[in-house]
Chain A
Amino acid sequence: MNWYVLVAAFLASSVEFVEALTIVLAVGTVEGYRPALRGTAIAVVALTILTMILGVGVLRYVPIGVLRGVIGVLLLLFGVKWLRKAILRFSGKKSLHDESAIFAKEVGKLRANQGNTFAAQATAFNGVFLEGLEVVVIVLTMGSAAQSYSSAIIGAAIGLALVLSLGLALRAPLSRVPENVMKFVVGIMLTSFGSFWAGESFGVVWPYQDVSILLLIAGYLAATWLIVSNLKRREADAA
């Protein structure tokens, strides 16, 4: 079991599942749960087919050395994208992610178009498919780069079970989930993994092998803290 991969997959997929749940709940609230669940089911089938094509096809035909390089680059791009957003949110340059506000906005949009069950179903499909696509990318890239699909799949499955059970119990958006902090942690982890695996595939020698991932996590954490502090100071000076 690769614990780094399991934790990163769990945190990243939980965040995405929370966002997908908000959209499905909004559709369910306005148009009822039949179109919401139908859209969700179609999205899950589409994602499953995509995962099978990408997962099985890519793994069978692309050599592992090339695959690790490509995956490292994609993970690094994915990681810096998440980390950039987290830095902007924590420094106050971008508003914090608020599931209740997103739920209210979605409900408002759906109410304006109420009675159109096809559009509602399409909204649920889009929400689940796009958020799910990020989970697929995380599971496939981390699972194949660390050669530990089981860890990535278990991490994502725990995230899904947790979010689904909380969603069913509360029937409300999970606005108390510390999504902003989770996104920040995931951004740090993905950037660290991406740096490590992309570097390794190019022939970089990392000191102490896998322990370097912890060093990268600590390093990016320190760098991010410095950037956030610097941005906050600049904002304060400008005000």
Chain B
Amino acid sequence: MKWLKEVYSLFVDDPKLAVLALIALVVALVLVKLDQRSAAGLAIFLVVSGSLWYSTRHD
């Protein structure tokens, strides 16, 4: 299972940040379903930027 841990740590450093980045994509998906396709891109950018701010502030 060590290799699985290595693969995980290749992509995830701060689990909270990873979850927030995934939430950004879920928000975008919801906006796409609501036919707000252009706003969805802006949502990804804003949520990811906010997540970085939150993660680094609470480090």
**Contacts A134-B10, A137-B10; A88 near B52 (Cβ below 8 A):** no
Whether A164 sits at the interface, judged by CB under 8 Å, is no
- List residues of B (7-57) whose CB comes within 8 Å of A's CBs: 10-14, 17-18, 21-22, 24-25, 28-29, 32, 37-38, 40-41, 44-45, 48-49, 51-53, 55-57
What are the residues of chain B within 8 A of A224 when measuring CB–CB? Answer: 52
B52–A80 contact, CB under 8 A?
Answer: yes
B56–A231 contact, CB under 8 A?
Answer: yes
A202–B45 contact, CB under 8 A?
Answer: no
Whether A87 sits at the interface, judged by CB under 8 Å, is yes
Question: Which of B11, B24, B29, B44 interacts with A81 by CB under 8 Å?
Answer: B11
Shortest Cβ distance from A133 into B: residue: B10
B57–A231 contact, CB under 8 A?
Answer: yes
Whether A76 sits at the interface, judged by CB under 8 Å, is yes
Shortest Cβ distance from B9 into A: residue: A81
Whether A212 sits at the interface, judged by CB under 8 Å, is yes
A195–B13 contact, CB under 8 A?
Answer: no
A231 and B55 CA atoms in complex are apart in Å by 11
A76–B56 contact, CB under 8 A?
Answer: no
Whether A207 sits at the interface, judged by CB under 8 Å, is yes
Which applies to chain A's interface (DSSP): helix, strand, loop or mixed?
Answer: helix
Which applies to chain B's interface (DSSP): helix, strand, loop or mixed?
Answer: helix
> What number of B residues sit within 8 Å (CB to CB) of A?
30
A87 and B43 CA atoms in complex are apart in Å by 21
What are the residues of chain B within 8 A of A93 when measuring CB–CB? Answer: 56, 59
A74 and B41 CA atoms in complex are apart in Å by 17
**Contacts A80-B18, A80-B52, A227-B53; A204 near B13 (Cβ below 8 A):** no
What are the residues of chain A within 8 A of B29 when measuring CB–CB? Answer: 202-203
What are the residues of chain B within 8 A of A198 when measuring CB–CB? Answer: 25, 28, 44
B56–A91 contact, CB under 8 A?
Answer: yes
B51–A203 contact, CB under 8 A?
Answer: no
A216–B45 contact, CB under 8 A?
Answer: yes
A77–B21 contact, CB under 8 A?
Answer: yes
A117 and B27 CA atoms in complex are apart in Å by 53
Query: Can you name 9 A-B pairs with beta carbons within 8 Å?
Result: A80-B51, A84-B14, A84-B55, A91-B56, A195-B45, A199-B40, A204-B44, A216-B45, A223-B53
Leading 6 A-B pairs by shortest Cβ distance: A223-B49, A205-B37, A203-B32, A77-B11, A204-B40, A81-B13
